[in-house]
Amino acid sequence: MDNSDILILKGGEILDLLGGQEPAVIAAVQMAYEAHRREQSSLPPSTFLRFPDSQRNRIIALPAYLGGESGGAGIKWVSSFPENVGQGMNRASAVVILNSPRTGLPYLIAEGSIISAKRTAASAALAARTLHTGREVTEFGVIGCGVINFEIVRFVLSVFPGIKTLFLHDLSAARADLFGDLCERTFSGVAAKAVKDVHTLLRAASLISIATTVIEPYISDFSGVVPGSTVLHISLRDLAPEIILNFDNVVDDIDHVCRAQTSVHLAEQRTGSRGFIRCTLADVTMGTQPARMDSDSIVIFSPFGLGVLDIAVSKLVYDLALKNGKGTVVESFLPDAWGQKT
């Protein structure tokens, strides 16, 4: 590709490129977390575009720079419109743009919702593998039966292949049934069981993923949670602040997660401090902090969703596309340099 060219990657092409690439995606996410922890990144706060007449809908801009050979610069522009689901459309849609950190020139425009789902799932799987150590995992609990948790199931199965039973909960019983059927057809040897109550699910498995579209906490009781459990709090706003304050908290980035009325942010507002956050996930993967305080502690992983992950996974997709001849190259997408026109 010439400097003025740009590669366009569609959703179907990205799905093909990332098929069976779960270990590579998890490795890219771990690299991004650790580079960010070493301050080899630039990560401005995400910008939330909200709509006065609908607080559930939002579009978020996540700009980021990630240093290193597998890094780059760019932005993800991702929307979340939950009511789309009832109209037969996806809740989330996104576009990722990558720029050269050397020249600033854009070189990739990619469908971003798949990249976003994969990087979120890889982050959850990395946290599960890192924090839920020394345990045989045969059950996995899922709260919220949508695209994100489906990808999380895929990635968690890649690190815990011994999982045989999925316990599912969703406000829509029909959606839980559909999710379970799709899981059983997609993932060999896995049985799915829907449960009607959140607290029944919290008692059923020691590894749990929460990925919903709620905007206010609704879980305030962890009394039935199995000692030694790991809760992947992906949607960030499900747990009451008293839950956050009473258990072992690991996050992706302390500054970023303490904003936008997340459960962690509400806990900070209640106490006036961030002392209840033990460490970041990169602190554990890099060996500077233990996986958990003790074998019976309940660990909550709250990832805000860092733009550096989108950069890392998008760069992986770009490299795979060039290697496999995927995508559409638009030649001379950028104008000629000023003064060089003939």
User: Please, which residues bridge with residue 165 across strands?
Assistant: 139, 191
pLDDT at residue 142 in the model: 98
196 residue type, one letter: K
Per-residue pLDDT tens for 188-246? 999 999 999 999 999 999 999 999 999 999 999 999 999 999 999 999 999 999 999 99
Q: Please name the fold of domain 6-115+307-330.
A: ornithine cyclodeaminase, domain 1 (3.30.1780)
Spatial CA neighbour of 117 closest among 29, 58, 206, 42: 29
**Torsions phi, psi for 169 (to 5 deg):** -140, 135
d(C-alpha 200, C-alpha 94), whole Å? 35
d(C-alpha 278, C-alpha 276), whole Å? 6
Within 10 Å of residue 168's Cβ, how many Cβ atoms?
Answer: 25
Spatial CA neighbour of 117 closest among 297, 305, 336, 251: 305
Domain boundaries defined on the chain:
6-115+307-330, 122-302
Q: Are 191 and 165 in contact (CB under 8 A)?
A: yes
Position 342 confidence tier, pLDDT thresholds 50, 70, 90: low
Q: Is the dihedral angle over the CA atoms 47, 49, 55, 56 positive or is it negative? A: negative
CA dihedral 104, 106, 108, 113 (to 10 degrees): 90
pLDDT at residue 338 in the model: 83
- Three-state SS for 253? coil
Q: Residue 265: pLDDT above 70?
A: yes
d(C-alpha 184, C-alpha 281), whole Å? 31
d(C-alpha 26, C-alpha 160), whole Å? 13
Q: Residue 78: pLDDT above 70?
A: yes
Class of the CATH-defined domain 122-302? alpha beta
Side-chain-facing half-sphere of 107: CA atoms under 13 Å: 20
The pTM assigned to this predicted structure is: 0.94
Tokens representing 169 are 């909960």
Within 10 Å of residue 250's Cβ, how many Cβ atoms?
Answer: 25
Q: Are 299 and 131 in contact (CB under 8 A)?
A: yes
Tokens representing 311 are 């950069």
Side-chain-facing half-sphere of 220: CA atoms under 13 Å: 5
Q: Are 6-115+307-330 and 122-302 in the same CATH fold?
A: no
Q: Are 176 and 170 in contact (CB under 8 A)?
A: yes
Per-residue pLDDT tens for 117-168? 999 999 999 999 999 998 889 999 999 999 999 999 999 999 999 999 999 9
